Chain A
Amino acid sequence: MSKCPAVTIENVHKSFGPVRALRGLDFTIQRGEFFGLLGPNGAGKSTLINALAGLVRPDSGKLAVMGYDVESEYRDARKRLGVVPQELVYDPFFQVRETLRFQAGYFGLGREVEPWIDELLDALDLMDKVDVNMRALSGGMKRRVLIGQALVHKPPVVILDEPTAGVDVELRRQLWSLVKRLHGDGHTIVLTTHYLEEAEELCDRIAILDHGGLVALDTKADLLARGISKTLHIHTSERARNLPPALADKIKRITEDYIELSFSLSEDSVMEVLDTIRDAGVHVIDIRVEEDDLEDVFVQLTRDARQ
């Protein structure tokens, strides 16, 4: 068990009536990874997270957290898992510190946890709100308490289900700073987000789900280098004419002094493109290469999967 993955997902299927929410998902998340779980709405991300947390029972397959089966060894699995839910849910009867204290209590933690609760409150910038009722907090503050609740038992694996949805820029920056710190401290982080730039910035490895299936699972670098396309912006001294058909097909836009063309990373070369333009008698003033970002890769992969 000492070298088992942080999260094991083995051939997991789940249907809700006629809807197949998970279709044979099968992958692992290693210890210490910052793992991104991406996909459009309805892809199965939340179902997978809920299955790991024990809120959804898979029809078949196996799920484990730090080697502990989430069904047969659920007590051990849950002690090692912290989940920040997507919805802003809270108990309106309690104040901030009470909320965290009770949550720690549910994990059987006694007084020894109190310094850690103080540390969390400080890190989440909630120290001046400890005695405020949950109802009176802003959305961003409630979100921070949710994160505190997920971390209160110091779980080695933390799942954040779209934690920055509806959160302002400043708080988002603070949250990522905290999550990066947790990752630095050795926690395995699993993140779902709609903000692809966040996944691009933070995650080591990314799984893209669509319609309950795995569309892609790769390191961020490999995913970005899948050779889907680049865009080349070329400023010219005059309008380029008489370009060979092979190049003309790639042109997205052309004006008197500008050419925008897309080309395949694996098949084309920037130098060859420039040589061809020069051979056509056009002087190149400036060029700029724009690579696809994760969003383009994501859109392309999920579109391919649907087709």
Chain B
Amino acid sequence: MTGCLWLFWKELVRFGKVSFQTVLAPIITSLLYLLVFSHVLEGRVDVYEGVTYTAFLVPGLIMMSVIQNGFANSSSSLVQSKITGNLVFVQITPITYIEFFFAYVAASMVRALMVGSGVLLAALLFVDLSVYSVLIIFLFALIGSAILGALGIVAALWADKYDQLAAFQNFVIMPLSFLSGVFYSIHSLPEFWQSLSRINPFFYLIDGFRFGFFGESDVPIRISLGVCLAALIVLSLVTLSLLRSGYKLRT
């Protein structure tokens, strides 16, 4: 195995050692959302024709857990290694900045997909879900988890203390994921809020992902896919450029 694969494997083992916190807890949280919101709002919110609110909610909750856990994995691991100083043991090895990027992003993707799959499997106990395109479901899950894995690296590089990372998570990731159409179709919002939703990149992740289940979406799937791929490419280039320059890692 190469250094990159070992770093990837180390990251998997790391979150595996605290899997109650990193995998099981987010699944339970999503299920609680599902139980509460579906019970309260079923029949009260208009979504797609022929789709129950509970079924509509499930893909949104899955993608929200993919987003939050993709971000949490790379950001928490990296910021911890950076602040405690043990990142030095990776920095003094022949691992390149590109390998470093792939190892952290890939590990984030694995965790995000594990949590997402867990939410899906658990939700299937309560609701019947149609599948329009497995390919699109996978594609958006992969792109979403990769975007957030890369964003987690950027946030961890930027943060000098845990508090700053928590601020990034609470003031950027959480609002963007909650206001991205997880719980509603943006067509049910006033015009202003619809427009605002369209500049939220997480909206396109959720809308595209939901299209994979129902074959229906708020914006055309080509646009969602294009926006998400562009976001992935731009964010990856930014992250690679920060890593290459040694931003806050090498003085």
Contact A105 B6 (CB under 8 A): yes
Tell which of B88-96, B148-156, B177-185, B193-201 binds the partner: B88-96
Say yes or no: A89-B6 contact (C-beta < 8 A), given A57-B250, A75-B94.
no
- Across the interface, which residues of B come within 8 angstroms of A79, CB to CB? 94
Contact A89 B85 (CB under 8 A): yes
Contact A106 B85 (CB under 8 A): no
Say yes or no: A57-B246 contact (C-beta < 8 A), given A102-B10, A105-B3, A107-B3.
yes
Q: Which of chain A's residues has its CB closest to B15's CB?
A: A93
Contact B6 A93 (CB under 8 A): no
Cβ of B86 under 8 Å from chain A = yes
- Across the interface, which residues of B come within 8 angstroms of A208, CB to CB? none
- How long is the Cα–Cα vector from A181 to B86 in the complex, in angstroms? 27
- Across the interface, which residues of A come within 8 angstroms of B14, CB to CB? 91, 93-94
Contact B93 A78 (CB under 8 A): yes
Within 8 A of A (CB), among B28-74: none
Cβ of B125 under 8 Å from chain A = no
- How long is the Cα–Cα vector from A103 to B89 in the complex, in angstroms? 7
Cβ of B158 under 8 Å from chain A = no
Chain A, interface size category, equals 20 to 34
Contact A98 B13 (CB under 8 A): yes
- How long is the Cα–Cα vector from A91 to B15 in the complex, in angstroms? 13
Contact B10 A105 (CB under 8 A): yes
- Across the interface, which residues of B come within 8 angstroms of A176, CB to CB? none
Q: Which of chain A's residues has its CB closest to B3's CB?
A: A106
Taking the closest CB of chain A, its distance from the CB of B190, in whole angstroms, is: 47
- Across the interface, which residues of A come within 8 angstroms of B94, CB to CB? 74-76, 78-79, 106-108
Cβ of A55 under 8 Å from chain B = yes
Within 8 A of B (CB), among A1-34: 16
Say yes or no: A105-B1 contact (C-beta < 8 A), given A54-B92, A75-B96.
yes
**Contact code string B85-109 (vs A, CB < 8 Å = 1, else 0):** 1101111111110000000000000
Cβ of A249 under 8 Å from chain B = no
**Contact code string A75-104 (vs B, CB < 8 Å = 1, else 0):** 110110101010101111110001000110
Q: Looking at the complex, which one of A89, A102, A110 makes contact with B84 (CB distance below 8 Å)?
A: A89
- How long is the Cα–Cα vector from A74 to B92 in the complex, in angstroms? 9
Number of interface residues of B (CB under 8 A): 28
- Residue of A53, A54, A57, A93 contacting most chain B CB atoms (<10 Å): A93
- How long is the Cα–Cα vector from A106 to B84 in the complex, in angstroms? 19
Cβ of A149 under 8 Å from chain B = yes
- How long is the Cα–Cα vector from A92 to B10 in the complex, in angstroms? 13
Q: Looking at the complex, which one of B7, B17, B90, B91 makes contact with A93 (CB distance below 8 Å)?
A: B17
- Across the interface, which residues of A come within 8 angstroms of B9, CB to CB? 102, 105
Within 8 A of A (CB), among B222-249: 246
- Across the interface, which residues of B come within 8 angstroms of A103, CB to CB? 89, 93
Q: Looking at the complex, which one of A93, A94, A108, A149 makes contact with B3 (CB distance below 8 Å)?
A: A108
Say yes or no: A110-B1 contact (C-beta < 8 A), given A55-B92, A102-B6.
yes
Cβ of B81 under 8 Å from chain A = yes
Taking the closest CB of chain B, its distance from the CB of A24, in whole angstroms, is: 19
- Across the interface, which residues of B come within 8 angstroms of A91, CB to CB? 14, 81, 84, 86, 89
- How long is the Cα–Cα vector from A53 to B90 in the complex, in angstroms? 11
Q: Looking at the complex, which one of A55, A81, A106 makes contact with B6 (CB distance below 8 Å)?
A: A106
Cβ of A56 under 8 Å from chain B = yes
Q: Which of chain B's residues has its CB closest to A77's CB?
A: B94
Within 8 A of B (CB), among A107-135: 107-108, 110
- How long is the Cα–Cα vector from A107 to B86 in the complex, in angstroms? 16
Q: Which of chain B's residues has its CB closest to A74's CB?
A: B94
Taking the closest CB of chain A, its distance from the CB of B83, in whole angstroms, is: 10
Contact B251 A16 (CB under 8 A): yes
- Across the interface, which residues of A come within 8 angstroms of B7, CB to CB? 105-106
Q: Which of chain B's residues has its CB closest to A82's CB?
A: B92
Taking the closest CB of chain A, its distance from the CB of B90, in whole angstroms, is: 6
- Across the interface, which residues of B come within 8 angstroms of A105, CB to CB? 1, 3, 5-7, 9-10
Q: Which of chain B's residues has its CB closest to A98's CB?
A: B13
Taking the closest CB of chain B, its distance from the CB of A109, in whole angstroms, is: 9
- How long is the Cα–Cα vector from A91 to B80 in the complex, in angstroms? 9
- Across the interface, which residues of B come within 8 angstroms of A108, CB to CB? 1-3, 6, 94
- Across the interface, which residues of A come within 8 angstroms of B5, CB to CB? 105
Q: Which 4 A-B pairs have the closest CB atoms?
A: A105-B6, A89-B85, A75-B94, A106-B93
A-B contact pairs, 27 of them (CB 8 A): A53-B91, A53-B92, A55-B88, A57-B250, A57-B251, A75-B96, A76-B94, A85-B85, A85-B88, A89-B84, A89-B89, A90-B84, A91-B14, A91-B81, A91-B86, A91-B89, A94-B13, A102-B10, A103-B89, A103-B93, A105-B1, A105-B6, A106-B3, A106-B93, A107-B93, A108-B6, A149-B89
Chain B residues with CB under 8 Å of chain A are: 1-3, 5-7, 9-10, 13-14, 17-18, 81, 84-86, 88-96, 246, 250-251
Seed contacts A54-B91, A83-B92, A106-B93; 11 additional CB < 8 Å A-B pairs: A50-B251, A53-B88, A54-B250, A57-B251, A74-B94, A76-B94, A89-B86, A91-B14, A106-B7, A106-B89, A108-B1
